[in-house]
A and B are shown apart, each in its own frame.
Chain A
Amino acid sequence: GAGVSQSPRYKVAKRGQDVALRCDPISGHVSLFWYQQALGQGPEFLTYFQNEAQLDKSGLPSDRFFAERPEGSVSTLKIQRTQQEDSAVYLCASSLRQEYGNTIYFGEGSWLTVV
């Protein structure tokens, strides 16, 4: 696939359940980002990886949120003990290199609904 791939596309979780969202970036892309987008709003930054190193996790809203990219390719965003306020679209994005002018390409998102 040529683009950023995310799964599942849709997830309904019961409050308190743990969820895991997967991101497969464009092959060879060094940088990987996770964003959270609430309905009708702009994406909000969660965390950033350069290869396998998590260099910025300043946007993670609580310690219930955890992300990893162990081999510098696929990444997983895990949310423990989900709450209703976690309902949002989770967008993964990647860029070829870490330079600031590099274009960031987004996946189609994982839609999480917590009931």
Chain B
Amino acid sequence: AQSVAQPEDQVNVAEGNPLTVKCTYSVSGNPYLFWYVQYPNRGLQFLLKYITGDNLVKGSYGFEAEFNKSQTSFHLKKPSALVSDSALYFCAVRDGEYTGRRALTFGSGTRLQVQP
């Protein structure tokens, strides 16, 4: 079965500092990994995904994520945080080629708070 863990409920960072939001996963086959962001009272917005190839994936709004197969991690990063980055972040995984399951499995979410 596929699963995702986001070990931090909340991450606090000062504006201008680098940020990292952690994600680890468990799958039976090759993972397809996604990050989404959710602002208050809004749906999920796609940030980036890892399918295959380069382990460093670049996405929207200056975010990037590094796929690490040996550590089964896919941490979200940004070199310089903005107050407007404050939101709820979700990591998600799919390993459908092994299970036949099309659905994404989501983590519990990490709230990012960027202080001015």
Bound-state Cα–Cα, A43 to B45, Å:
13
B11 at interface (Cβ–Cβ under 8 A)?
no
Task: Report A-chain residues with C-beta under 8 Å of the C-beta of B49.
Answer: 101, 103
Contact A48 B103 (CB under 8 A): yes
| Contact residues on B (Cβ < 8 Å of other chain), bracket | 20 to 34
How many residues belonging to A are interface residues under a CB distance threshold of 8 Å? 28
Task: Report A-chain residues with C-beta under 8 Å of the C-beta of B22.
Answer: none
A33, closest chain B residue (CB) = B103
Contact A109 B43 (CB under 8 A): yes
Bound-state Cα–Cα, A45 to B105, Å:
7
Stretch at the interface among B12-20, B71-79, B90-98: B90-98
Among B43, B44, B102, B107, which residue has its beta carbon within 8 angstroms of that of A100? B102
Task: Report B-chain residues with C-beta under 8 Å of the C-beta of A109.
Answer: 42-43
Bound-state Cα–Cα, A105 to B45, Å:
7
A1 at interface (Cβ–Cβ under 8 A)?
no
Among B32, B102, B109, which residue has its beta carbon within 8 angstroms of that of A48? B102
Among A4, A59, A106, which residue has its beta carbon within 8 angstroms of that of B103? A59
9 additional A-B residue pairs with CB within 8 Å, beyond A100-B94, A103-B49: A41-B108, A42-B90, A43-B44, A56-B103, A104-B104, A105-B46, A106-B43, A108-B42, A111-B41
Give me 14 A-to-B residue pairs in the complex whose CB atoms sit less than 8 angstroms apart, sorted by A's number.
A33-B103, A40-B109, A45-B104, A48-B102, A48-B103, A55-B102, A91-B43, A98-B102, A100-B97, A101-B49, A105-B46, A106-B45, A107-B43, A109-B42
